[in-house]
Copies of this chain bind each other. A is one copy, B any other.
Amino acid sequence: MERRIWKNGIFLPEEEAVQSIYDSASLYGDACFTMLRSFNKQPFRLEAHLDRLLENCKFTEMPIEYNFHQLKRAIWDTIFANRFEFADDDEYRIYINISRGPLPIYRDILEVKPWVMIAIYPLRWTLRGMSRLYGDGVPTIITSIRAIPSRFLESKSKNHCRLSSRLAELEAKRSDPDAWPLLTDDSGFITESTGANFFSVRGTRLFTPEPRNCLRGISRNFVLGLARKHEIEYRERNLEAYDAITAAEAFFTATPFCILPVTKINGQKIGDGKVGKVTMFLTEKWIEAVKCDFLEQARRWDEHQ
């Protein structure tokens, strides 16, 4: 046996998780997607992910033959179909992709038909080598490459037009091979890293960019929920490099790693350069909430791969 993907209602071997070079997804980055992770093999915030995905599809006028319930069902089916392909201590990484399909001009070779593809693979791949970052923190670089303002390309709609994020990664690594990029928009406001939302702490308050030129991350929302629950005051507001560099703490959130401290920006230590108290507190509360010690998991996986 081996992992199988779900495509338009049919299970196919994982190696068929491909898209034609004539697909609009390949030619135009014209597909919406989202990626989940599980905690204790339960997909995290599945409904929130699907809601956003369908919102994204609506915004991009993506034709789609499956509704919320059918997609949810398909995800569970995919998990079920692949359940024996994962080690006991694995978690799932689930990737749902929705495309408009091949362009009509290629109808002589390909069926011009939208598709939904759901793939699943071990989360440990995504987290490879990252466990040390929970303790050391991520160094970041504010890049000269700026986030595309959402009036040009909607960052709130997760799609495959992300070359500039990719180039920002390369730029960050030119000054520090471990660094992640921290993008700003045209106004100099911090947006996000590649696939990770940014938070800073100042005094007893949590700050995160207004959710405008960045993805409205599910993990971001989860942290805001934790803050509300545990009465940490927070503000969504325009943050600038100055605010980030002079903050007491900073961290990233994203689906695969949940929360990662940012300990350096442009070579300058954030606070005392250690993982901050609020960051640690939120990490603990997250672990409690999902009943899964994702730090420990990450460490274990790093030891065994």
Contact = CB atoms under 8 A, between A and B. Distances in A.
Interface of A: 14-15, 17-22, 24-30, 55, 58-61, 95, 97, 100, 105-106, 108-109, 117, 119, 121, 125-126, 128, 141-144, 146-154, 156-157, 159-167, 170-171, 174-176, 184, 186-188, 210, 212, 238, 240-242, 245-246, 266-268
Nearest to A3: B109
11 contacts: A19-B21, A26-B26, A28-B166, A29-B163, A60-B163, A146-B151, A151-B241, A154-B241, A160-B161, A174-B175, A174-B176
Contacts of A151: 146, 184, 187-188, 240-241
A105 B128 contact: yes
Contact of A26 (B160, B176, B188, B241): B160
A19 B121 CA distance: 18
B153 A246 contact: no
Contacts of A156: 240, 242
Contact of A152 (B29, B95, B148): B148
A119 B21 contact: yes
Q: Which of A25, A128, A142, A242 has the most CB of B within 10 A?
A: A242
Nearest to A144: B144
A163 B242 contact: no
Nearest to A161: B161
Contacts of A240: 150-151, 154, 156, 212
A28 B162 contact: yes
Contacts of A149: 152, 187-188
Given A19-B26, A117-B21, A14 B109 contact: yes
A97 B28 CA distance: 13
